[in-house]
Amino acid sequence: MAVEIFYDDDADLSIIQGRKVAVIGYGSQGHAHSLSLRDSGVDVRIGLQEGSKSRAKAEEQGLRVLSVAEAAAEADVIMILAPDTKQRFIYEEHIAPHLKDGDALFFGHGFNIRYDLIKPPANVDVAMVAPKGPGHLVRRQFVDGKGVPCLIAVEQDASGNAQALALSYAAAIGGARAGVIKTTFTEETETDLFGEQAVLCGGASALVQTGFEVLTEAGYAPEIAYFEVLHELKLIVDLMYEGGIARQRYSISDTAEYGDLTRGPRVISPAVKEEMKKILGEIQDGTFAREWVAEDEAGRPNFTKLEEQGNQHPIEKTGKKLRDLMSWVDRPITETA
Ligand SMILES: NC(=O)C1=CN([C@@H]2O[C@H](COP(=O)(O)OP(=O)(O)OC[C@H]3O[C@@H](n4cnc5c(N)ncnc54)[C@H](OP(=O)(O)O)[C@@H]3O)[C@@H](O)[C@H]2O)C=CC1
Ligand SMILES: CC[C@](O)(C(C)=O)C(=O)O
Ligand SMILES: [Mg+2]
Ligand SMILES: [Mg+2]
């Protein structure tokens, strides 16, 4: 079935401009949504926990920061942009007691609804506006007059206007400049988790690290290995982004293209595809969600260990040295947060 895609002309910005929005969290997504909502003429306040590291940044940007409970009580659209594993506690303690008839509860990712961690009451709209890109680029694209595509979904339409409200919100953060696709909480959650685990983050990071290891273990200079498997990856992906895999293949040499066509499927072999299917199965049957929630509740021992191992990988040291020589590359991921 063809998806529905909406653009600026389909959205009514005045809907979100007529509401009071609370953004809970001021991290990667939170700062991008809040600043762009404000720049789009929306009445926005930020809800943060006591002692939050993010408070100073939000206040420096001229935003009004309240406690989560105060922000939720004041607002009629509450967008939860705190970490997925913390959302249910924040919701139960600080948001649920302040929900009123006609309020809207918004999410930037469907995890807590898809896995039944948050169960909102029947008298509020429950919708999602999920940018398909990192928050810092969501903001950077907005400032540059462009946008990151967004997904919208409505889980509960108490008002009868939840979709128009979600589309209006998506337009206010620049999403409708690029395209807003209608989906469901289930489809967004499962595809987002699969994408980040198998391809965008897990797959790509492991591919780059393994390529670097193969070259350096074979005696090649780490600097050459770094340029080959990491730095140049962006240039190749930029071509895919602009014109698909076909454009990338048009631009590379025919020697590279022959290697691509014949060796690529050996790297991403049928066994890799089978593993990807297993990963998708663990997302669909809730295994991954249960594991991640339990890992967080246990204080993240495995997460911390693996993150540290990643930081110690030799490619990070080589990369830092080389990026220090290319002033334009190591641009702060945002000028605002
Ligand atoms: N990162 C991304 O680009 C994307 C994220 N998403 C989704 O957006 C949501 C937010 O993710 P992300 O932006 O990465 O989160 P971050 O980790 O970058 O930021 C989380 C923010 O929430 C605050 N916070 C933490 N605990 C609490 C609390 N108890 N009460 C109130 N605020 C709290 C943090 O404050 P402090 O600084 O004090 O820790 C911080 O400001 C998630 O649902 C995620 O899946 C969706 C698309 C892309
Ligand atoms: C790809 C990672 C992501 O899903 C994103 C930036 O969209 C995330 O959860 O951060
Ligand atoms: Mg994503
Ligand atoms: Mg994600």
* Per-block mean pLDDT, blocks of 10 residues, the chain (337 long): 94 98 98 98 98 98 98 98 98 98 98 98 98 97 98 98 98 98 98 98 98 98 98 97 97 98 98 98 99 98 98 98 88 56
Which residue shows structure tokens 């040291």? Answer: 317
Please give all residues whose beta carbon lies within 6 A of any atom in ligand 1, as ranges: 24-30, 48-49, 52-54, 68, 81-84, 86, 90, 108-109, 130-131, 134-135
Report the CATH fold assignment for 5-183.
Answer: Rossmann fold (3.40.50)
Q: What is the pLDDT of residue 329?
A: 84
Cα dist. 247→135, 175, 244, 261 in Å? 27, 25, 5, 14
Q: What is the pLDDT of residue 198?
A: 98
List the alpha helices (DSSP H) in 61-174. Answer: 68-74, 87-90, 111-114, 135-143, 162-172
Which residue shows structure tokens 């939720």? Answer: 72
Q: What is the pLDDT of residue 1?
A: 76
**Listed residue (110, 130, 121, 127) closest to 161, CA to CA:** 127
Q: What is the pLDDT of residue 205?
A: 98
> Rounded CA gap, 317 and 192, in Å?
30
Active-site residue flag, 94: no
> Rounded CA gap, 293 and 190, in Å?
16
Q: What is the pLDDT of residue 99?
A: 98
Q: How far is the CA of 112 from the centre of ligand 2 (A)?
A: 15
**Listed residue (132, 193, 180, 189) closest to 155, CA to CA:** 189
> Rounded CA gap, 3 and 325, in Å?
45
Residue nearest to atom 2 of ligand 2 (CA): 196
* The Cα angle at residue 193 between residues 188 and 198, in degrees rounded to 5: 130
Question: Of 33, 109, 187, 333, which is best to mutate to test ligand 2, by the most ligand atoms within 8 angstroms of its C-beta?
Answer: 109
Question: Of 23, 48, 95, 288, which is best to mutate to test ligand 1, by the most ligand atoms within 8 angstroms of its C-beta?
Answer: 48
Q: Is the dihedral of CA 215, 221, 222, 227 positive or negative?
A: negative
Q: What is the pLDDT of residue 155?
A: 98
Q: Is 150 helix (H, G, I), strand (E, B) or coil?
A: strand
Q: What is the pLDDT of residue 213?
A: 98
Q: How many CB atoms lie within 10 A of CB 21?
A: 26
Which ligand 2 atom lies nearest to the CA of residue 201?
Answer: 1
Question: How is residue 188 written in tokens?
Answer: 């967004």
Determine contact, residues 225/316, Cβ cutoff 8 Å: no
Q: What is the pLDDT of residue 119?
A: 98
What is the pairing mode between strands 180-183 and 5-6?
Answer: antiparallel
The single-letter code of the amino acid at 32 is A
Q: What residue spans in the chain does CATH classification 3.40.50.720 cover?
A: 5-183
Q: What is the pLDDT of residue 327?
A: 85
Determine contact, residues 130/150, Cβ cutoff 8 Å: yes
Strand locations in the chain, DSSP E?
5-6, 20-24, 43-48, 65-67, 77-80, 104-107, 125-131, 150-156, 180-183
